Structure 1
Amino acid sequence: MASMIDGVDQRTQLVGQNRLELLLFSLGTKQIFGINVFKVREAMPCPALTQIPLSHPVIRGAAHIRGKTISIFDLSMGVGGQAVDDLSNSFVIITEYNRSIQGFLVSSIDRIINTSWQDILPPPSAAGRNNYMTAITKLDGELIEIIDVEKVLAEVIGADETVS
Structure 2
Amino acid sequence: MSYTEDMTSSDSLLDHVDARTNLAGTNKMEILLFSLGGEEKFGINVFKVKEVSQAGKITRTPNMPGGVDGIVSLRGHVMPVLNLAKFMGVKETAPHQTMMVAEYNTHILGFLVKDVDRIIRVDWDKVRPTEGMLSDKGALITAITNLDDGSLVSILDVEQILSDAFGEAIVGNVEKVEAGHELCVFFADDSMVARRKITEVLDKMGVKHIQANNGQEAWERLRGMADGAQSSGQDLRDQIQVILTDAEMPVMDGYVLTQNIKNDKRFEGIPVVMHSSLSSDANRAMGKRVGVDYYVPKFDSQVLSSTLRPLLT
Q: TM-score range by the shorter chain?
A: 0.7 to 0.9
Equivalence for 1:96 = 103
Deviations 1:116-160 (A, max 9, x none): 112111126223995201100010211000011121110111043
Scaled by the length of structure 1, the TM-score of the pair is: 0.87
The 3-state SS of whatever aligns with 2:161 is helix
SS in 1 for 2:94: coil
User: Aligned residue for 1:29?
Assistant: 38
CA distance change for structure 1 residues 36 and 47 in 2, over 3 Å: closer, same or farther?
same
Match of 2:141 among 123, 133, 141: 133
Q: Residue in 2 aligned with 1:150?
A: 159
Structure whose residues are more often strand by fraction:
1
2:47 alignment partner AA: F
Note closer, same or farther for the CA distance 1:53–1:82 as it changes in structure 2 (3 Å cut).
Answer: farther
Cα distance between partner residues in 2 of 1:104 and 1:118? 27
Gaps of 5+ in 1: none
- Identity within the alignment, %: 37
Which segments of 5 or more consecutive residues in structure 2 lack a partner in the other structure? 1-12, 170-192, 195-297, 300-313
- Residue 108 of structure 1 aligns with which residue? 115
Q: Per the alignment, do residues 5 and 49 of structure 1 end up closer, same or farther by CA in structure 2, a change over 3 Å counting? A: closer
Q: Does 1:73 align with 2:82?
A: yes
Highest Rg: 1 or 2? 2
1:18 to 27, 38, 43: 27
Q: How many residues align?
A: 159
Structure 1 counterpart of 2:109, one-letter code: Q
Partner in structure 2 of residue 118 of structure 1: 125
Structure-2 change in CA distance of 1:112 and 1:129 (3 Å): closer
